[in-house]
Amino acid sequence: MKFLHTMLRVGDLQRAIDFYTQVLGMQLLRRSENPEYKYSLAFLGFAGGNPGQAEIELTWNWGVHDYEHGNAYGHIALGVPDVYAACEKIQAAGGKVTRAAGPVRGGRTVIAFVVDPDGYQIELVERAETAAGQN
């Protein structure tokens, strides 16, 4: 079995695509429309997406512009070689850091959290092997 994607429902598909591409640096891999069931999809990821990398599937239900996340959703994690530098780059691109870079509480791994336009938290985890050309 292989991990393919995580699906997030968003209130504005282009706003979300702009965030994941322009702020987080993902590629827009493909889009589709389903007029019968009135929704649109956008798949985004790094390095071409599946099968080598998992993807994010953004779902927009036509006419629906916001969702309640409740208290269940946690985060999606992205590996980066330098969390401090990634936070600076994200902030410079207009992104919001909700937990500053630093060692995880009670541990040593450097993490940070940013939030997407729909309020989904995204964790940045420092992993040397994710440096350019190594993923």
Ligand X SMILES: C[C@@H](O)C(=O)SC[C@H](NC(=O)CC[C@H](N)C(=O)O)C(=O)NCC(=O)O
Binding site for ligand X (CB under 6 A): 7, 9, 37, 39, 57, 59, 61
Residues facing 9 on adjacent strands: 59
Which residues form the catalytic set?
Answer: 123
State which residue, 10 or 90, has the beta carbon closest to Ni ion: 10
Residue 89 contacts which entry, ligand X, Ni ion, none (Cβ below 5-8 A, type-dependent): none
| Nearest distance in Å: CB 86, ligand X | 28
**Strand, coil or helix: 132:** coil
DSSP string, 67-107: ---TTT---EEEEES-HHHHHHHHHHTT-EEEEEEEEPTTS
| Nearest distance in Å: CB 70, ligand X | 15
Q: Give every CB contact of residue 100 below 8 A, 6+ residues apart in sequence.
A: 87, 112
- Using the rule CB under 5 A, give the single segment among 4-12, 21-29, 60-68, 94-102 that binds Ni ion: 4-12
| Nearest distance in Å: CB 80, Ni ion | 25
| Residues of this chain, 39-68, that bind Ni ion according to CB under 5 A | 57
**Strand, coil or helix: 34:** strand
Residue 61 contacts which entry, ligand X, Ni ion, none (Cβ below 5-8 A, type-dependent): ligand X
Q: Give every CB contact of residue 88 below 8 A, 6+ residues apart in sequence.
A: none
Site of interaction with Ni ion (CB under 5 A): 7, 57
